[in-house]
Structures are given as structure tokens and as C-alpha cells.
Structure 1
Amino acid sequence: MAFGVEKNKIARGRRTARNIVLWSSTALAIGYGTTNVTAQTTPTTERVSSQSAVRSFNIPAQPLLSALSTFNRQAGIQVTQASGAAARNVAVNAVRGNMSPEQALAQMLSGTGVTYKFTGNRAAVIGARQSVNGAAGSDESTVLAPIIITSNRARNSGSGFQGTPDWVYEQPSSVSVISREAIQNAPVRNTRDLLDNVAGVYANRSEAQNPGIAVNIRGLQDQNRVVTMIDGARQNFQRSGHGATQRTYVDTAFIREIDVEKSGTSSVGGAGALGGSVNFRTVGADDIITGDKKWGVEVNAGTGTNEFTFDGSGIAAFRLSDSFSVLGGVARKKVGEYDIGKNGELTLNDLTVEDGAVISTGQEVLATILKAEAEFTDDLNGSLAWIRNDSEFSHGSYDTDGLVLTENTQDVLNNTITANLNWDPDSDLINLNARLWYNHTRNKEVRGASTVTNYLDWPVNYSLGTVGVSLDNTSTVDTALGALSFNYGVEAFWDRGKTEADTFYASDGTDLTASFTGSTPSGNRDVYSAFANATLEHDDWLVVSGGLRYDYYKLHGNTSVFGLENVTRQVYGCTRYRFGTCVAWGNVDQLVTVYPETVLNVDNSQGEFLPTAMVAVKPYDWLQPFVKYSRSMRPPSIMETFFTGGHPGATVVQYAPNPDLMAEVGDTFEIGANITQNGLFSADDSFRFKAVGFYRQIDNYISMGTVVRPETGREHTAYVNVDGTTRMKGIELEANYDAGPWYAGISYTHLKTDFGDSYTYAGTTYEVSPSVIFVPPRNKITVDAGVRVFEEKLVLGGRISHVGGTSPNIGLLTSSYVSEDYTLYDLYGSYAFNENTKLRVAVTNLTDVAYVPALGTTSYPGPGRTVTASLNFKF
């Protein structure tokens, strides 16, 4: 169970909406120049502010259309070909080094005879290709239809669903991106709320007050099945409870982009990832400093109704020289105990909902960021960053009678340090990346005084530290069939988990400390991986790739299993009574319960080869169908392997470790298509579409079961490998149409999961023990639309989200985790007073619906109607 920050009850009654004005900073202005360019050998252009930032480029010589895709990703602006263009025979120059996107474009097109001009509608049009002798329009010339280069509202935003950048719709895989535009336009109680509209992705809400993010992708979550990262640094922290176990702590103020990969990869970050990955990428100096300025500041401040008390941040960046910049920021968020919706019928938990408010759902978060970015030489650059997040909230528990809730205060401190180097000399064979990172998460808990803790406040500290390193290189060669690139490297990380508590003795003197420390046990896990992937781009219509990864893991350390015996011991006590009063003392025999401990040495390792393969074709310039296969493996976690003890303060014989767990191994098959179309119905419109159908099967899925340990001869609850094959299949799509003055987008997920319900242990088959396996709803759909008026200064939009009902697959507590269908209506808007100041407002749950969020619990219904406003200011 989980409850909030405030210890004292807050007087509840009707909460009236506040008028809100927020002081904040944002760089939303992008200047656009207009210049007409005649056909010439070397194209020219006028500087545009969004194209002026220096970036690192590595684009081999290749056909124009495939080069545009690479340029798009590396430049951070969007490059697509207009309908009907035919540029298959145009080859462009290699571009390598640090320069502005406009300089890179000019170098890439130099000598090709292809001309372009930047227009006033945030676009550059590539026009005619000249002949070598410069006679434009002569018999030797090849005329190209316009190619539009869209300069987005933010460099990492684009024309896709809720500002998704265009490279997502050119990537032949199941990738989704939450852009900074979408992040800034959505004031949220918690970072996890940003994931709600992503196809195939859910955020667990079984602990409403915990600001940690638990991600579910295609039905998989917890135990590091989905790898979550901050700037590539893994966030492996876990904590046992009555809900999700895996948590990531990051503040929205510092997020530049959220990248979601939903299947296995043969590249950096894929080691040990069974169900994909989520990478929270943080802001850099280029996001804060605009144009040719040497410094920049962004300030945001927001508040709202329904206990949305404050959400504010300040970020400053300084360019100390042309090759060195620093960035620092601080963010603070405070939200309180919110009211649930008033429209609809819910079966409420009287212990967690009082007068329509969900008690103890508050949280306070203080986050900071420091980052330095440097270009040591023309071909060597690097960065060093430290992100810190301190979150305070509460985690409640029932007393032994099950009728009283006690508050367990929580203070979670997360520190993530990353160091990156990129060496990209003037060679097609070298583009080397080296990364070193460290993450440490500490959960400092004080369990409230109750019968469980002998009426004392009891401290328990959970921590996990992870060190990681990776090294990869990309080499590109030209072949008769096209550009062939190789990406290959190694990565490794080391988990060290430790849980500590004061020694706890029961009333009879029995040591029950393991009942506080055993369910989130101490232990060690090492993971090593080597990978290689080859990609062939033939002309501009065929992409074929194949990769192989080898993952190896080792779990090692000591854990315990506890037995139970009733023994007779001599104790000093009363030997003779007279009229109910002791008149003689001495040694007497007394029957007592003891828990003999057997220490187990864990030494579990396994390795697996994991192939990937992908084929994508372009029968038309606007259409890219693809198929992909990937095999992935997840090592058992420290929690699953070293699990021991029992419910806090009660017993140590309930749980037992399983040092012989096997890794989960999955096979994922995908078929999908990308559609990228400009000028569909008008000269300035755009259409983006990605659809993926998938089927995933998993062997050795790990869940809870009852086992008989030979050391005790008793039954214990332990993690076991489920028999048979666990299956997930579904359809995901994201689409957006943008006509400039108005836009409309949709995200849809259909998912069906089938978990096993039996397991075999020591030659005997059993049914899976009660334990919650969260199953996402079969259907989820979001429709988002809006208008832009007054030269796009004013944006007004609305969103409808429908989520199907769901319940856990297995579980003793399934009645608490059931949710019914619900539909939410949201409104949002923004007004740009000038290019440096923007006001944003939003109304979430407009109709004040009472609902239980998917992957949530009836103890914590979702928030009712909430009005928020924020001011963003950048200078």
C-alpha cells in the first residue's frame, strides 16, 4: 500500500479553483529568413536560427534520399521528400565533423547542382538539379520535385503525433518518441503521465503517491524486463511491495526527449532487455541557448487546482567558448492529496479515501542537473552530467488487525552520473563512442509505530548502485550494392544491492530482522554483452540489417533460508506459585519457536546468443513496409534470486530464495509500415503514420510459486520459472495530420496477453501461487486535435482518451487491482506573448470522472478535474 507526504490530515472540503499565473522560461522562437536562390553549383542559404546550432555529423556519400534520412536524425530538423519526387540517381557528398545543419546541407549538396531556398513557412525547398555545365533546364538536367526541409518548433520535435520527430517515421522498427514540445505542453502530477498516450506503453499506478516511474511495454514490466535509462544510464532500482517493484526517478523539467524502443536490439543499451527500453534524454546547452548568444536561461512556474500546488524549474546554460559549455538547473514539485472525480460509481477503500480525497497521495520532489559539454578537437567531443532527484512521500501499511493504516515515510535519493566521448575523425571506418556511467538509488524508509514494529518507528534502508560502461564503433564502406555500415561493440554493468535495518527482535527474543530486509534482498549481479549489427542500404528503396548479440550474466553472493522448529529450552522463571503469586524462582522448561538459518551461496550464470534481422522496402517514396525479428534475454534480478524472509515483523519462514532460476528468453516478430507524406491535400500539410503488428513469445517467464526447500523440508513462497510459453500479441499505431492552422492525431493499442499458470519444481508440477501479474487493457485509444490562430501565437486543443478495463492475471488481491473502462476528456492551450514568453493552461479530466487507472488499484482512484497553468520564459 502507498500513501502521501503530509503526516497531518489536511482539512478537506470543497477545493476551489485558483487563478494561476506562472513565471517560466522557454525558447520557443525560431526565426525564419526568406531568400530566393537561383540554380548554382554550390547551393547557398540565409542563416535561420533553428539551423544555426553546431552539431556533429557523420554522413557517408550515398544516394540523396537515404542521405536525407541520416541528415534528419543528426541535424535535429526534419527532412522529407514531397509527393512524386524522383531523385534516385542523385548522389551526395560525405559530411563529417561539427558544423551547423545549414553548413552540413550545403556541403552535402555541393557540386550536385541541386538548389534550395529557405521560405517563410519554416521550410526549405530543394528545387532543380543542374547539368554539369550549369545549363539549368537543358537536356542534360534532371528535374527534382521539391524536397521539404521542415524547421520544427523545437529541434527534437516534428510533424508526428504530439510533435514526434520525423526520424521515427523513417525508422523501420517499433519506436516511439515523446518530444519536448509534448512534455512542455502537458503539466503533469508525475513524469509517468507523459507515457499515457504512447502506443503499446503504460505506466503502472498501483502506488499513486510514489513519483517513481514503472513502465509497462506490451504487457511486460518490473524486474528490469523493460530497461529504463537516464541519458543511457540504467535505472535498475527495485523495491518489493504490493504493487510495481521497478522505479525510475526523473523530473519532467530536465527531459529533452523520451525514446521508447519496444523490441530487442543489437546495439548499445540492449543488454538484458527482454521487453524493450525507455531512455529519458536530458536537456543540453543548445536547448537553452538560442541563436548566436553566449548564454541562456529558462524559467518555468506552474500551479493549479486539486492540490497541484507548485511545479517550477530554472535552467541556465553558458557557452564559455566556441568549444565548451556548461548547464545547471533546479526543479521543485509539490502536490498534495487530490480529490477523485465525482461522476461515476466506484467501490472505494474507506481507509484510503476520506471525504472524496485520496489520503497520503502527496509528494515533494527536488531535482538538480549539472552538465558540461566540450569539443576537445575538431573530431573529439564529450560530455559529463550529474542528475540528482530527491523525492519525499509516504508508503503505508496495515496494522496486524488489518483495520488501521500506519504511515511509512519515504525519502528516495537518486544520483546519476554519465560521461560520454565521441571520436569521429575523417574516416569512414571510425565513429567511436565511449560511455561510463554510475547510478545509485537509496530509499530511506521509516516504518510507522505499530504492532508490526513493536510500537516503535523502525528505519529500513534500501539501496542499489550500478556501474556501467560501453564502447561501440560504426564503420561504413561503399559496395556495389550500396552503403554498408557496421555497428559493433561491448557493454557491461554491475549491480550491487544492499538492504539494511536495525536488528528486530520479537517479544520472545526471536530475531526477525530478515522480515524487513529479505523481500528486497542484498546481492550482486554482473551482466556482460558483445554485439554487432550490419545494415545495407541499397539505392533508396531497400534496407536490410542483421545483428547478433551475446549476453552473459552472473549472480553471486550469500542469502539465507529459514526453517521453523518448536524446541524446549530452560529459561529463568517462576518454579512455584502460591495463591497466584510466585514464591520461588529458578530454571524452568519452556516451549519456544526458533528459526534455524541455513546460509546459501549463490553462483548462477548463463549466456545466450541473440540474433536480430530486419528488411524494409520503399515501393514508393512515401511508403516503407518492414518486417523484423529479435531475440532477447532477461537475467533473473537480485530480488528474484536472493528473496527471503517474510512479511515485516511477522515471520522469516514465508519466503525462500531460488539460486537456480533460469533467464527469461523471448522471440518477437513484427510487421509494420511507415508513411511520410507532405503536400497531401495542400502545399503545406503533412501526414505521418506508423503501424506495427507484433507477436512475442517468452520461455521461462518468472513468477511466484510455492516450493519445498530441502534445507527446511517446509513450503515457502519463491520465484520460479513458469512452464510453457507466455505470449503477447497486438497492434500499435500512431498517426498525425498537420495542416498548419489545424492538426489531428491518434494513438491506438490493441494487446492480448496469455501468461502461464503452472510451474515445475524438483520434478513436481504446481499451480502458480497468488501474486499480482499486471495485465494492461486490451484496448487504449487517444485522439488529439487542435487549432493554431493569430500567426500560431494561440494554440487551442483537446484530447479524448479511452482505456479498456483490466484485471491482474493471477493474484490473491485481484479484487483491488481491477479497473473498468473509462474515458477522459482534456483541454489545453497556449499563448505566445512573444518569442520568449508563453502561457500554457490545461484542464484534465474535464468531466470529473471517477475512475481507477489501468494498472492501478481501487485504493488509489485517479484525480478528478484539475486546472493548471504555467508560464515559460526564456532569455
Structure 2
Amino acid sequence: MTCRAVKRKKDKQGKGQAAFLLLSTSVFPFVGATTHVVAQTTPTEQSVSRDGVRTFNILAQPLRDGISEFNRQSGVQVSQASGTISPAIRTNAVTGQFTPQEALRRMLSGTGVSYRFISSDSAVIGGVAQSASGVTGEDATTLDPIIITAGRKAASGSGFQGTPDWVYQEPSSVSVISRQAIQNAPVRNTRDLLDNVAGVYANRSEAQNPGIAVNIRGLQDQNRVVTMIDGARQNFQRSGHGATQRTYVDTAFIREIDVEKSGTSGVGGAGALGGSVNFRTVEADDIITGDKKWGVELNAGTGTNEFTFDGSGIAAFRLSDSFSILGGVAHKKVGEYEIGKNGELTLNDLTVDNGSVLSTGQEVLATILKAEAEFTDDLKGSLAWIRNDSEFSHGSYDTDGLVITKNTQDVLNNTITANLNWDPDSDLINLNARLWYNHTRNKEVRGASTVTNYLDWPVDYSLGTVGVSLDNTSTVDMALGALSLNYGVEAFWDRGKTEADTFYASDGTDLTASFTGATPSGNRDVYSAFANATLEHEDWLVVSGGLRYDYYKLHGNTSVFGLENVNQPVWGCIRYRFGRCVSEGWIDQLVTTYPETVLDVDNSQGEFLPTAMVAFKPYDWLQPFVKYSRSMRPPSIMETFFTGGHPGATIIQYAPNPDLVAEVGDTFEIGANITQNGLFTARDSFRFKAVGFYRQIDNYISMGTVVRPETGREHTAYVNVDGTTRMKGIELEANYDAGPWYAGISYTHLKTDFGDSYTYDGTAYEVSPSVIFVPPRNKITVDAGVRLFEEKLVLGGRISHVGGTSPNIGLLTASYVSEDYTLYDLYGSYAFNENTKLRVAVTNLTDVAYVPALGTTSYPGPGRTVTASLNFKF
């Protein structure tokens, strides 16, 4: 038998990187390396009889994803007979032991999609298979092979911890944390979800802060890594003794987390030096199953070690075939956890008291509202509002070791997004328009301290960002293959503002800038235009190239404060007699003043940023690729307008630097994807992605000591580091799923080399004592489990080993050092039925005492914690 050539169906959304080949042939004799990279084919000797019973565990999901999962679990191949089937159709959940015929019937019940088995291991949906002679059934002629595209809409797949399959067909260093992984891991904080991703770390230098600070390949803070919620940038920055950048989002609303680790020439890439992280939120289709008009998902969890409560409720309603709404609320409350008891740590006596870490409690209330509309067959839109209110505190014993100093924090984050997609029946138009707004406000009350001379003092930090983007994708068939062109523009505007009550020292000095200057007010505008072309030659070669132009402008005013000791005439006693003043008059007295110079900031710069990629398939199951990208990160408001000094102490410590230039990076990558089904059995799957990278950065920004001409004094300021900052490493993620059992691995090797000198005003200096967080060189996670009792029961375990690390430079180096540590976790779930599931987990099973990577001895990691949650769907 000869194999018919396969032609790829165009993905009108421009997102169809993962494709599942659905064949209606009764026999396909090839397996292993000769199987199409995205096809699960079943050999004759392993075909499923009509009376054969298999175990199914298929979630309710979009039709294309459901058919792909049915194909994997049943060994039956399904194709679309004719016509168009709406991508909005969702299949029903199927859990238990059934014949493939019964399982498919249950999946499609009530969806309006017809089906027919034409052989023991092939079926047709959407119509009846018919031969040229009009014969149907076993003797029917086969249909032409077609592609059903899962694309980036897939919520989960066969990859590491449920990673969607498209990730292992994308010729780029991308990772995805699936909804399956999110729901299976009750976490104390959303950042915990990032721990198992290759090349990615979550900073824990301020463990009490529920905000997420992401480190990718050694880069973090100051928007080096762009973090987004549904494409809306979260640019908020706040100075402190740890990470500065924070994103606030609750796990209950996350559909998936997309991680891009290099530069891109598309929407979301403007101003991104070290990649991006996008927290995508749930949609109505995630909650409503089958042909129902509404759906509800409830979740409630609790646990030990001050894991008090984690609950949520989400409801969605399909008001018509073209309009749906979704709303949800989530509440989390955790207390001051205990650290592990096994192992030795050098603890900070000011923050760890009787084994508990002070101020690690937090309470979060989050809500989501979303409307989705299909105005016409060609025009779709959505509007969403996500709100997160987080309350927590910073605290420690005062230097006397008796009184606890506590800074209370209330962070309110609002993100509003509006999206519009116009996709008419034309290869030249697939237009996306996006408008979004994010505002983060941090209301703080700084607790009284004997270190300085102030009592409780309120300070408000806020940053608002408005963003817009417009892009279009055109596809043209050429002699060499299909050419896809994506081009557009994007822009965003940051407006930062910090306010505090006026504060005077005992000598009358106005020290208000000591509260507001380290997180200063200011403005930043970023504009970008881009174009990217991708050529797909047959099924074995993909070549792409892109060019982006980024331009930024920082504007506003700031101050630099000097110090002068001058003699000033004051009225006082000029003659004493027997201890009494007998004569008064004008006398000279030495007085310290702090002259202020206001600086106007007007800093701008533009840069052309190319990207290029080549991927090919020497075999259907193997896709090597190479990629180059150039990226730029504008200075932030904080770096440019920095002023004042340590809160309540001084205003002459810091100085702005209006002359900063942007960081520019070049990233080189070589990698490979492997996607294989039916490797050893008809049901198994293997997914593998490996990437080696080298990144070099010019003009890296760090802290240094400068002499400002306005004062003639030394100040701490942000400066551009000389030389080249380098990062290089290897990342891999792999998973083998045999059905009854699975095993996966994630591994990272990273080496960083930061510069330690800079030139300012013609003079060479060494970088000031400041902390540059350096991730560990090695991190590995192994995850494995079994599925029992018709796959209703899942039991799994995870081992994570993280190497030791310390900051590159710093006076506080000793506090930010972490040693190697290994954590053991257990987890499990039991599905009582398709609507009710119990999940349990034990983290840090051996109760190890450890300091997390990118953390500090002031906040060691939590000890053993047992959690349980119950999930209901209606």
C-alpha cells in the first residue's frame, strides 16, 4: 500500500503550529519513525475491534482538542467528511471503560456533530463517508487526509505536566504551564507554578509579597522580562531589598501561562529584553461543557502549615449562540508558615521566630468579569476586567530585638482588556485590534522604627499603563510554499506616581523624598512597528525573518539634593551671667542645608531589532531549528528618575540619571523538537524540546556611585555597565505518556557573567554594592505518576533539585546565598465522576530546611505542607 501525500490546511488564525493528522484509511502500516510527526496511527495488528473496550479519561474541551485526545486514547483515526464545523463546539467529558464507538457517541452527544465508523479503526465526523460508487461502511473508499488544528487554543496536551502539543512543534524556546498543571498543584502563591519550567525562576527575596517576579535565563526586574495578563502589560515597579517588578494574578483564573524566552517580532515583544510571560485567563468554553447554556466551577481547599483557605467560584452563561459572559471570585488566606526542621540554616533572628517566618501571611481577594461575542461569522470580540486585592505586610524585629516593626501593604491591581478579531473569507486579512489598561496601586503604612525618627507613615505607589496594538496576518501561496506575513504596530504609555505625607526631620529638614524618591514619579512612552515573514516549504522546511523598530521616550522632572554647611545669623544669647542670659543679639551658627536642583528629563532612543529562524524536518518526528533575535529594553521610570535616600533617614543618598541608554541584547539559539505517537504501543506518546542558547547584552543597567555636577557629591544612581553581560545554557523538557503511567523531566543549566565596572563622565568606577540576582547553574525536576481504576485515580510524585546560588555583587551577599537543596512532593486526585474531583498534595515531604533560589535567609522556604481541595463542575 502506498501512502498519499499530505497537504497542510491553512490555519486562518496564524496560530496553527500544532496539527493532528486525521486519516480515514482502514489500515496505515507505518509506525515509529515513519509516522507523521503529528499523527497517531494504529497498525493493523493493533487495531481496535468494535467490541473492544478501552479506558478513557477525556476532559470537556473544544472539538478539535477532544478529537485529538480521543484519537490518542482509542487508537481510532477520525476525519472530517465535508463542510465546516464551528470551532466553538465543545465535546463532552468521557471517563470510564467503553468501546471506541460508545466513547465517541458520548463525546459528541448533544453537539449536533454527526459521526460514522467506516472501519474498525477509522471514523468520520460531519457527514457520511461515501465512495465514488455510493457505497458506505466497511467498503467505502477513504477520504483525503485533512488536518485538524489544535493550535494555541489547546488547554493541555501530552507534554511535560500537561503541556499542549503545539509547544513541541514550535521552533522556538517556548514553554507553557497548562491548566491541568495549575489545577493539580494547590500552591501557596502563584509564583510556585513557575518552579518546574526550564530556564525560568521565581524570585523569593520578599516571600511575603504575593506579587510575582519572574527571572528568565538570569534576567529579571525593570521590565527586562515582560509580564502580561491576557496581553496587558504589568509594568509596576517598587524599590525594596529584593525584586522590584511585581505581577498580581490569582491561580483560580489562569487558563495557562505562556513563556517566551527570546525576542519576538510580534505583538507583546516591544521593550522585552529577556522574553515574556503571559498569564491567560479562563474563557466561557472552559466552564460550559457540551451543548449546555451555562456552567459553574467551584473549588475549595485547605491545608496544614497555615494554608488556611483557597477557594473560588466561576460561572459562565451562553446567552445566545454568539454571546457569552463569565464571572468569578477567588479568595485565598495563608498565615505565617513554619520552615522545615531537617537541615541547618543560618537564620536571620529578626525575621524567623520560633521556626515561623514573620509577615509571610497574606490575604487575596480577586474577581473576574468577561464577555465574549461573535458579532458575525467573521467578527469576534471580548471585553474583560480582572481585579486583584492583596493584603500583606513586611516585618521584622527592630534592632533592639524586642519590638516588631511592621509595614502594612494593600496592593490593588486592575486590568481591563478589549480585543477584536476580523477574519473574513480572505487569505489576506486576519486583523487583530487590542486595547488594554492596567493600574497597580500599593498603599503602604511604614511602621515606626528606632532606626529612623518617624512614626507610622503612609506612602502610596501607583503605576498606570495604557496600551494598544493592531496587527494583520496575510497568507500567500507561492511556488516555494505558503508565505505568511504578520505586521503591525503597538504602543504603551506608563505613568508612575508616588505620594507621601510631608515628613520633616527634627532639624526641620524636609525628608519626604526619602519616602517617594526610590520609587519615583515619571513618564515613559514606548512605540513599536514590526513585520515578520514565514515561509513553509512543503512539510519539511520553515524559514522566517522579522524586523522590529522600537522607540521610547522618558519625560518629566526629578530632583537631586545636595548638602551644604553654612554659617547663618540666628538670634540668640550673646552674654551669660551666672548661667543666665543677660544679653541677646545676632550670632553666626553653622547650619546644614539640602539645596534641591530640579532636573528636566527628556530621554529618547530608537533601535532596529531583527529576528531570523530556520527549522526543518529530516524525519516526520524530528524538527531541529536555529534562531537569532535582537532585543532592546528601555530604561524604566525607576532607573531614570531615582532620587532621595533610605526612608526617613536622608535625601542625599540617591541621584537620577537622565542619560541612561537602553540595554540591547543578541540571543542565539539552537534546538530540536521531537513529537512521536505510537512509539512502543498504540496509545503512548513522547514529547521533547531541547534548546541551547547564548545571550550577550550591551549597556546592562545596574547601580553605581556617581558624582553629580549639580552637587559635587557622590550619590548612588543607576548606570550603564561597561563590557558585555553574558548568559548561556541548556534547557530541556520531555515527557513520555503510556496511558496507565507517565514520566517527565525538566532541566536547566545556566551560566551568567555580569559586568562589574562602568564609566561615568569619563571616569571608570566599580559597580556599587547592590544585589544582582543570579540563578543557580543547575535545576532539575522529575515528575512521574500512575493512573488507576479506569484512570479515575491519579497518583504522582515529583523530585526537584536546585543548585546553590549567590548574588553577583553586594553588601548583603551573605543574606542572599542559598545552598543546594532537594525537595520531594507527592500529589494525587480522584474523580468521583466527571463533575467532582478531589485533589491532595504534600509539598516538601521530608520537611527540609532551605533557602529558595533567588531568595534570602530572612525568608526560608515553607516546611512540610499537606493540602486538599475539592473541585465541582455543574
Answer whether TM exceeds 0.5 for this pair.
yes
1:83 deviation in Å?
3.7
2:250 is matched with 251
1:482 deviation in Å?
1.0
Worse-matched range after superposition: 192-201 or 99-108: 99-108
Asked if structure 2 preserves the Cα contact closer than 8 Å seen for 1:63 and 1:539, the reply is no
1:226 is matched with 225
1:136 deviation in Å?
11
Q: Deviations over 1:364-420 (max 9, x none)?
A: 000000000001111101000000000001123775879865111000000000000
2:517 maps to a residue whose letter is: G
1:655 is matched with 654
Matches within 5 A, 1:762-801: 762-801=761-800
1:569 deviation in Å?
2.2
2:663 is matched with 664
Matches within 5 A, 1:229-378: 229-378=228-377
Worse-matched range after superposition: 67-76 or 260-269: 67-76
1:559 is matched with 558
How far apart, in 2, do the equivalents of 1:592 and 1:126 lie? 92
Asked if structure 1 preserves the Cα contact closer than 8 Å seen for 2:663 and 2:701, the reply is yes
1:576 deviation in Å?
4.3
How far apart, in 1, do the equivalents of 2:183 and 2:299 lie? 10
Give the 3 Å change call, closer, same or farther, for CA 209–537 of structure 1 in structure 2: same
Q: Deviations over 1:119-178 (max 9, x none)?
A: 67789966899997789999x9899999999999x9510000000000000100000000
The percent identity for this pair of structures is 86
Asked if structure 1 preserves the Cα contact closer than 8 Å seen for 2:64 and 2:148, the reply is no
Asked if structure 2 preserves the Cα contact closer than 8 Å seen for 1:447 and 1:453, the reply is no
Worse-matched range after superposition: 579-588 or 226-235: 579-588
How far apart, in 2, do the equivalents of 1:119 and 1:686 lie? 22
1:546 is matched with 545
The secondary structure found in structure 2 opposite 1:220 is coil
Give the 3 Å change call, closer, same or farther, for CA 80–654 of structure 1 in structure 2: farther
How far apart, in 1, do the equivalents of 2:468 and 2:241 lie? 33
1:196 is matched with 195
Asked if structure 1 preserves the Cα contact closer than 8 Å seen for 2:526 and 2:552, the reply is yes
The secondary structure found in structure 2 opposite 1:309 is strand
Matches within 5 A, 1:668-707: 668-707=667-706
Asked if structure 2 preserves the Cα contact closer than 8 Å seen for 1:87 and 1:144, the reply is no
2:708 is matched with 709
2:626 maps to a residue whose letter is: V
The secondary structure found in structure 2 opposite 1:677 is strand
How far apart, in 2, do the equivalents of 1:328 and 1:579 lie? 81
1:735 is matched with 734
The secondary structure found in structure 1 opposite 2:668 is strand
Give the 3 Å change call, closer, same or farther, for CA 78–209 of structure 1 in structure 2: farther
Asked if structure 2 preserves the Cα contact closer than 8 Å seen for 1:72 and 1:78, the reply is no
1:790 deviation in Å?
0.6
How far apart, in 2, do the equivalents of 1:560 and 1:376 lie? 52
Matched, 1:819 2:818: yes
1:454 is matched with 453
Worse-matched range after superposition: 399-408 or 441-450: 399-408
2:183 is matched with 184
Give the 3 Å change call, closer, same or farther, for CA 102–742 of structure 1 in structure 2: closer
Asked if structure 2 preserves the Cα contact closer than 8 Å seen for 1:339 and 1:356, the reply is yes
The secondary structure found in structure 1 opposite 2:620 is coil
Asked if structure 2 preserves the Cα contact closer than 8 Å seen for 1:71 and 1:79, the reply is no
The secondary structure found in structure 1 opposite 2:765 is strand
Matches within 5 A, 1:248-647: 248-396=247-395, 405-451=404-450, 454-582=453-581, 587-647=586-646
The secondary structure found in structure 1 opposite 2:307 is coil
Give the 3 Å change call, closer, same or farther, for CA 357–86 of structure 1 in structure 2: closer
Q: Deviations over 1:24-82 (max 9, x none)?
A: xxxxxxxxxxxxxxxxxxxxxxxxxxxxxxxxxxxxxx984644988996699966896
How far apart, in 1, do the equivalents of 2:830 and 2:815 lie? 42
How far apart, in 1, do the equivalents of 2:451 and 2:79 lie? 71
Asked if structure 2 preserves the Cα contact closer than 8 Å seen for 1:693 and 1:730, the reply is yes
The secondary structure found in structure 2 opposite 1:269 is coil
TM-score, length basis structure 2: 0.87
How far apart, in 1, do the equivalents of 2:785 and 2:530 lie? 44
How far apart, in 2, do the equivalents of 1:150 and 1:739 lie? 21
The secondary structure found in structure 2 opposite 1:377 is coil
1:296 maps to a residue whose letter is: G
For the aligned residue pairs, the C-alpha RMSD in angstroms reads 3.1
How far apart, in 1, do the equivalents of 2:637 and 2:722 lie? 21
Give the 3 Å change call, closer, same or farther, for CA 346–66 of structure 1 in structure 2: farther
Give the 3 Å change call, closer, same or farther, for CA 444–65 of structure 1 in structure 2: farther
1:360 deviation in Å?
1.1
The secondary structure found in structure 2 opposite 1:382 is strand
How far apart, in 2, do the equivalents of 1:353 and 1:80 lie? 59
1:454 deviation in Å?
3.2
Give the 3 Å change call, closer, same or farther, for CA 102–452 of structure 1 in structure 2: closer
How far apart, in 1, do the equivalents of 2:379 and 2:838 lie? 40
How far apart, in 2, do the equivalents of 1:634 and 1:738 lie? 40
Q: Which runs of 5+ in 2 are unaligned?
A: 24-30, 40-61, 69-77, 85-98, 108-116
How far apart, in 2, do the equivalents of 1:69 and 1:478 lie? 13
The secondary structure found in structure 2 opposite 1:680 is coil
Asked if structure 1 preserves the Cα contact closer than 8 Å seen for 2:64 and 2:149, the reply is no
Give the 3 Å change call, closer, same or farther, for CA 141–148 of structure 1 in structure 2: same
Q: Which runs of 5+ in 1 are unaligned?
A: 1-61, 91-98
How far apart, in 2, do the equivalents of 1:463 and 1:111 lie? 53
Asked if structure 2 preserves the Cα contact closer than 8 Å seen for 1:272 and 1:632, the reply is yes
TM-score, length basis structure 1: 0.87
1:582 deviation in Å?
4.9
How far apart, in 2, do the equivalents of 1:833 and 1:87 lie? 37
Asked if structure 2 preserves the Cα contact closer than 8 Å seen for 1:432 and 1:473, the reply is yes
1:590 deviation in Å?
2.2
How far apart, in 2, do the equivalents of 1:109 and 1:63 lie? 18
Asked if structure 2 preserves the Cα contact closer than 8 Å seen for 1:163 and 1:181, the reply is yes
How far apart, in 1, do the equivalents of 2:572 and 2:411 lie? 46
2:677 maps to a residue whose letter is: N
1:4 is matched with none
1:457 deviation in Å?
1.2
Asked if structure 2 preserves the Cα contact closer than 8 Å seen for 1:225 and 1:273, the reply is yes
2:609 maps to a residue whose letter is: L
The secondary structure found in structure 1 opposite 2:667 is strand
Q: Deviations over 1:590-612 (max 9, x none)?
A: 21211111111111100000000
Give the 3 Å change call, closer, same or farther, for CA 388–581 of structure 1 in structure 2: farther
Asked if structure 2 preserves the Cα contact closer than 8 Å seen for 1:77 and 1:155, the reply is no
Give the count of matched residue pairs: 800
Asked if structure 2 preserves the Cα contact closer than 8 Å seen for 1:76 and 1:155, the reply is no
Give the 3 Å change call, closer, same or farther, for CA 874–475 of structure 1 in structure 2: same
How far apart, in 2, do the equivalents of 1:821 and 1:104 lie? 44
How far apart, in 2, do the equivalents of 1:489 and 1:641 lie? 29
How far apart, in 2, do the equivalents of 1:398 and 1:572 lie? 43
Give the 3 Å change call, closer, same or farther, for CA 762–405 of structure 1 in structure 2: farther
Q: Deviations over 1:273-321 (max 9, x none)?
A: 0000000000010011111111111110000000000000011111111
Give the 3 Å change call, closer, same or farther, for CA 556–207 of structure 1 in structure 2: same
The secondary structure found in structure 1 opposite 2:471 is strand
1:596 maps to a residue whose letter is: P
1:481 deviation in Å?
1.1
1:634 maps to a residue whose letter is: R
Matches within 5 A, 1:89-168: 101=64, 110=82, 155-168=154-167
How far apart, in 1, do the equivalents of 2:209 and 2:869 lie? 23
1:623 deviation in Å?
0.5
How far apart, in 2, do the equivalents of 1:296 and 1:145 lie? 35
Q: Deviations over 1:776-827 (max 9, x none)?
A: 0000000000000111100000000000000001111000000000000000
1:650 deviation in Å?
1.1
1:670 deviation in Å?
0.4
